[in-house]
Amino acid sequence: MEMNEILERLPKHLLSLVIDQPYNSYTVQDHALWRYVMRQNVRYLSKVAHGSYLDGLRKTGISLDRIPMMYGMNRILREIGWAAVAVDGFIPPSAFMEFQAYNVLVIAADIRPIDQIGYTSAPDIIHEAAGHAPIIADPVYAGYLRRFGEIGCKAFPSGNDYRMYEAIRHLSILKADPYSNAQMIEEAEKAIELLGKNLGEPSELAQIRNLHWWTVEYGLIGELSNPQIYGAGLLSSIAESYYCMQPKVKKIPYSLDAVNYSFDITEPQPQLFVTPDFETLNSVLDEFTRTMALSKGGVDGIRKAIRSENTGTSVYSSGLQVSGTFTDVIEKNGEPVYIRTTGLTNLNFSGKEIPGHDKQYHRHGFSSPVGWIMGLTAPPEDATDDDLSRLGFSAGKSVEFEFESGLKVRGIFQRALRKEGKLILLSFSECEVTFEGTTLYQLEWGPFDMAVGSSIVSCFSGPADPVAFGLNYPVPSEKTHKIEHTEKAIKLFSLYQKVRDLREQTDTSVDLSGVWEALNKDHPGDWLCALEILELLKDRKEDPLYKEINDFLQKRSAESEIFRKLIEDGLVLIED
């Protein structure tokens, strides 16, 4: 991978998801598909897309004629402060958003099969490169995308969210393979439907993914009665970019209420949200952020961490950050009294691990009180050495004290740790912690490091110091399928190649009559290659070959509404 200063900032746990773009695996039909979609986009989207889209296409240097090479794009994207990497299909939502936080677009390296040319539920290079990349040339929107990533990667998932992600990834892999078994696809769709019925209360991640869907992927902007497209899912779908502008698709003013609208990636969307401007996107994002555990902390925040069944971080009012898998919270009067993690845990301050408090030291977990200590007139994090002395804290001496909640601590005081003027840890030996007759920490468990803070001010998904914690997004075990094309398909691709060679003047001896004869005989359903041949004959409309191919396309377009739209739009392209 060709690196630049933007990519060099990526942490190791994200780099593990990056792959080399398999550029030599794209067939000449893939390039023809790209060319068709991109030319249609420029023709149609110039009328309905936000003004920054076409300008962004020019700025990002995306070719209309062939699939772009990722790292050629990177040389241009860096001029607007962004970069792109290739990934293998869907990646975990938290990772996707964290890439955004680093100003990096993730681009699924595959390209949709021709039978999904209008719309595909799987991420592909058309969606990512032609949908996401051009619109980030707008600085206000690019800032929103980055902020969304910073906040979204800290949203708590539920245990079921990851199971749903794996099910969607599996379905998308099957659908992206033109040779997939129809029964397997049906079973994968049923599995998603069943999971969807049993997700329970939507997690923060599920809610913020809804906001992402209705803005970044499927957003409209401007006036409600005459909006423009800016969402990448619409910009990259020649079918849905047309469908979404029809009156049958309900247009709703964008607001925080969008978090309550779930979506089905396999179907056209029945409603879309219209923002008056990009600044409003940031306002709604701020509004949602204020509802998150990231902003509120407290008992609810810790409970969200517990429900996530994964690594999370709770932040004390002292600034101490506890990162691990949270399994328990004791509360009183709606406030946390005691919190507990199980398994590997570390302690941090300002996003950096505190020396001596790594995962190995706290390998069995961490637990600690939360709240005000009786006898102090200020929050415990503001206690001075004199304040502690008045309570009987003296190194090597036994001390006993009580929290306002009624929780009691008795042990031999060892040391205090302060950071930036705040007391964050008190360490004891031979310690016992009790609450309402229940022992929470026993003498024989060894040294007790007590977190200090009057409250939990923030909770978020993931560790505070990803590098020290050793965060690692597991590379998906199921890979997108390496397509093994049939001999018949390979022969079809050779016909596409001949048409391309003639169009690009690399081989002017190509006999179009022979190409058409082979196409019509052996691949009678292929309309795209026929369109490309017809394009080369557009100045010879009296030629019998032109008339024969045109008649074929007219007949093919009458077979279904889908073919009618694709072929008619292709014929318009030829005339233009």
- Please report, in tens digits, the pLDDT of each residue of the chain (576 residues total): 667 788 899 999 999 899 888 899 999 999 999 999 989 888 888 899 998 888 888 887 788 899 988 877 888 888 888 998 989 888 888 999 999 999 999 888 888 888 888 777 677 888 878 888 888 888 999 999 999 999 999 999 987 888 888 888 888 888 878 788 889 988 988 888 887 777 778 899 999 999 999 999 999 999 999 999 999 989 988 888 888 999 999 999 999 999 999 887 777 899 999 999 999 999 999 999 999 999 999 999 999 999 999 999 999 999 999 999 999 999 999 999 999 999 999 999 999 999 999 999 999 999 999 999 999 999 999 999 999 999 999 999 999 999 999 999 999 999 999 999 999 999 999 999 999 999 999 999 999 999 999 999 999 999 999 999 999 887 777 888 788 889 999 999 999 999 999 999 999 999 999 999 999 999 998 999 999 999 999 999 899 999 999 999 999 999 888 888 899 999 999 887
Interacting residues of 209 by C-beta distance below 8 A, sequence separation 6+:
93, 152
Residue 357 corresponds to which tokens in the numbers above? 């408090």
- CA–CA gap between residue 176 and residue 398 (Å, rounded): 67
Shared domain for 213 and 89, answered yes or no, is yes
Q: Which two structure tokens, joined as six digits, stand for 355?
A: 């020396």
Report CA 258 to chain centroid distance, whole Å. Answer: 17
Residue 2 maps to a domain: no
Amino acid of residue 556: R
Cβ contacts of 413 within 8 Å, gap of 6 or more: 393, 394, 395, 396, 397, 398, 399, 426, 427, 428
Judge whether 387 lies within some domain.
Answer: yes
477 domain residue, yes or no: no
Q: Decide if 304 is inside a domain.
A: no
Dig out the tokens for 121 from the structure.
Answer: 């539920």
Contacts 24+ apart (CB under 8 A), 352-356: 352/464, 352/465, 352/468, 353/464, 353/465, 353/468, 353/469, 354/417, 354/419, 354/425
Asked whether residue 548 is assigned to any structural domain, the reply reads yes
Type of residue at 327: T
Q: Could you list the residue range(s) of the whole structural domain that residue 348 is in?
A: 312-459
Give Cα 315 to chain centroid, integer Å: 25
505/436 same-domain check: no
User: pTM higher than 0.85, yes or no?
Assistant: yes
Q: What's the number of domains the chain is made of?
A: 3
Residue 205: inside a domain: yes
Question: 286: part of which helix (H) or strand (E)?
Answer: helix 278-289
Going 238 to 94 to 165 to 251, the CA torsion angle's sign is negative
Are residues 260 and 350 both part of a single domain? no
Using left for φ > 0, alpha for ψ between -120 and 50, and beta otherwise, residue 160 falls in alpha
Do 236 and 87 fall within a single domain? yes
Residues 52, 115, single domain; the answer is yes
Interaxial angle between packed helices 527-536 and 512-522, expressed in degrees from 0 to 180 and rounded to the nearest 10: 160
SS3 label, residue 330: strand
| H or E, element range at 557 | helix 544-557
Looking at the fold, whether 98 and 149 belong to one and the same domain comes out as yes
User: 238: buried, middle or exposed (CB in 10 Å: 19+, 13-18, 0-12)?
Assistant: buried
